[in-house]
Structure 1
Amino acid sequence: MLTDSHCHLDRLDLGAHGGSLDAALDAARSRGVSRFLCIGVDTANASEVKALAERYADVWCSVGIHPLDLTREQAPDANWLKSQLAHPRVVGIGETGLDYYYQPEMAEQQRASFAMHLQVAAETGLPVIIHTRDAREDTLSMLREADLPQAGVLHCFTEDWDMARRALDMGYYISLSGIVTFRNADALREVARQVPADRLLVETDAPYLAPVPHRGKPNEPAFVVEVARFLAELRGVEPEQLASETSQNFLRLFPRAAA
C-alpha cells in the first residue's frame, strides 16, 4: 500500500471528481493509496488541514509556514506553532525552509522563520518537512547547526546528488515527486537511483507537478501511483516492494501516524 507523503488536499482541483474530495480520495484508495499527509503552509490553513485529518482516518497533517507565505506572515510565532502541534493528527512541522528562487529579497526573513521551525522541532521532537530551492548551502548549514536527532524530509527534491548525500548523512529522508518523470529530469533520476531504500519517500505535492502521463493536468493523490511505478522501474525493484518500503519509511519518520 502506498503513502502520499506530501499533498495539499485543501487546494485540490476537484473538477474531475464532481467537486468531491471524498471521490478524489476514494480514487486514490482504489489504486492502493492508503495514507495521505496534508501539508500546512500558513496560519490560515492550519485549521483546514487539521479538520481534514479529523474527518478522514487515513489523512494526517502538518502545520507550519511556507517560506513563500512570509509576505503575509510577517512574524512567525513559535508559541503559535507549538500550540498547533498539540493536535493529535499533526505529525510534523512544516512545510518550512528556504526559497531564494522566487523570493531572494526575503532571504533574511526566510532564514529567521526556518530557524524558528527548527528550534521548535528540537524542543518537541517532531520531524520537519523542508522546502528548498536555490538555497542549497544555507539549507544544509542550518540543518547542520540545528542537529535534530529526529531529522525530517527534504520534500519534492530537485537538487543534485551532492546535496542529497549531505542531507542523508545528517539523517534526513528524500521525497520524490512527479518531477522525476519529466523529460528533462535526468540529473534527478540519477539521485533517485542512489537514495538508500530506507530513506526514500514518494509524494504528489498535489495539486502541483502532475507526473507523466498526467502532466499538464491538476495533480491529485491517486497519481502517486505513477510516481512510485516510475521509481520502481528506475531502481529495478517491483512496485509492491517500493510501495512497502516507502510506506514503512513514512511511518518511521512520522511515528505519530502509526499510532
Structure 2
Amino acid sequence: MPAPVVDGHTHLDACGARTPEQVAAAMDRAAAVGVTRVVTVADDLASARWVVQAAQWHPDLYAAVALHPTRADALTDGARREIERLAADPRVVAVGETGLDHYWDAAPHDTQAEAFAWHIDLAKRLGKPVMIHDRDAHDGVLATLRAEGAPDRVIFHCFSGDAAMARECADAGYFLSFAGPVSFRNARELADAARVVPNELLLAETDAPFLTPHPHRGKRNEPYALPYTVRALAELRGQDLVELCDLLRSNAERVYAIAP
C-alpha cells in the first residue's frame, strides 16, 4: 500500500497463527505490504481467551471479544461473566463479533436475538463499539439496534447489504466495513453499496482466513491480502488510493479508539 492501513477484522488463530512466533510472522507479512495494524476477532469462548492473550504479544495487534451468533446458545451465565472480564481488557477495542445469522441457523433465532441484545448492552457499558455479524438477517439486525438503542459506535463487519441498506446505516451513523467480496466481479449490489458510503464511515477488513479478495478468490486469506480489497474500493469509489488509505486508517483509529 502507498500508505498504512488497518485490517479491522481478522481471525489470526483460524489463519494458523497461534503462537507468539506465528503471530509475529503474520504481522510482519502484513506490515511488508502496508497493513500496519490488525484487529483479531473471537467467535467462541476459547477464541476470546486467545485473542486477548495474543493482543499482548504484539504492539500493533488488538482484539475484539464476543460469542458469534452461531454460538449464541453457549452464552451461559458463566460465559457472560468471562466475556465481560475479557472485553474490559485495554487491548480489546470492540465487542464482537455479535449479531444475527439466519443462514446457518446454528442457534435458534430468539436465542441469537437475546445474545445480540446482551452484547449491545455490554458494549454500551464498556464504552466500546459493537462489531456486527449480519448474515441473511438485515431487517432483524437493524430492528434490534433500534429496539435496544445502539452504542455510540457500531461497525457492520463484512457489510453485505445493498445501497439502500448502506444509506440507512449511514443515516444512523454506523460504520460499514468491506471485505474481499467487494472485489468480486459479480457482486454488483455490494459494489453499489460501497459507492454510497460516506467517507467518514468507511472501513476495510480481510475477515481472514475467509473471503479472500480477487484475484486470489478461493485461496486462504490473511491480513497481507487487504491491499486487494482497498484497491477495489478505490476503483469503485473513484478515489485516489493514497487518500483512501489515509481515510481508512483514520476511520479505524477513530472507531477503535487506537492512537495514530
Encode CA deviations 1:48-105: one digit per residue, 9 max, x unaligned.
101111001000001100011235x152654332211221101110100000111076
Is the 1:202–1:246 contact (alpha carbons within 8 Å) kept by the matching residues of 2? yes
Match of 2:29, SS?
helix
- Structure 1, residues 82-129: CA drift from partner, whole Å, max 9, x if none? 211221101110100000111076101100100100111222211000
> Does the residue aligned with 2:131 lie in a helix, a strand or coil?
strand
- Report the counterpart of residue 5 of structure 1 in structure 2: 8
Code of the aligned partner of 2:195 = R
Structure 1, gaps ≥5 residues long: none
CA distance in structure 1 between the partners assigned to 2:161 and 2:55 by the alignment: 30
Distance 1:55 1:251 in 2: 20
2:63 alignment counterpart:
61
> How far apart, CA to CA, are the structure 2 residues paired with 1:125 and 1:74?
21
> Where does the alignment leave 5 or more consecutive residues of structure 2 unmatched?
none
Q: CA deviation at 1:221?
A: 0.3
Matches within 5 A, 1:195-214: 195-214=197-216
TM-score by length of structure 1 reads 0.92
Alignment-mate amino acid for residue 116 of structure 2: F
What secondary structure, in the 3-state scheme, does the structure 2 residue paired with 1:10 have?
coil
Moved more, 233-242 or 89-98: 233-242
Q: 1:226 aligns with which of 214, 228, 242?
A: 228
Corresponding letter in the other structure for 1:171: G
- Verify the 8 A CA contact 1:127 1:151 in the aligned structure 2: yes
- Deviation of residue 27 (structure 1)? 1.4
User: Which residue of the partner structure matches residue 169 of structure 1?
Assistant: 171
Match of residue 237, structure 1, among 232, 236, 239:
239
Matches for 1:1-259 after TM superposition, within 5 Å: 1-13=4-16, 20-71=22-73, 73-75=74-76, 77-103=79-105, 106-255=108-257, 257-258=258-259
Measured after TM superposition, the shift of residue 13 of structure 1 is 4.4
How far apart are the structure 1 equivalents of 2:243 and 2:191? 19
CA RMSD in angstroms comes to 1.7
Identity %: 40
1:40 offset after TM fit, Å? 1.4
Question: What letter matches 1:28 in structure 2?
Answer: A
Could you tell me how far apart the structure 2 residues matched to 1:230 and 1:122 are?
33
**Residues 235-244 or 103-112, more deviating:** 103-112
Tell me if structure 1 keeps the 8 A contact 2:102–2:135: yes
CA positional deviation for 1:149: 4.5
> 2:70·2:107 contact (CA, 8 Å) conserved in 1?
no
C-alpha contact (below 8 Å) 2:66/2:96 kept by paired residues: yes
Residue 170 (structure 1) shift: 1.7
CA-CA distance at 1:148 after TM superposition: 2.8
User: What letter is aligned with 1:91?
Assistant: V
2:13 is paired with a residue whose SS is helix
Asked if the contact 1:204–1:221 (Cα under 8 Å) also holds between the matched residues in 2, the reply is yes
Q: Give SS of 1:212's match.
A: coil
Q: TM-score, normalised by structure 2?
A: 0.92
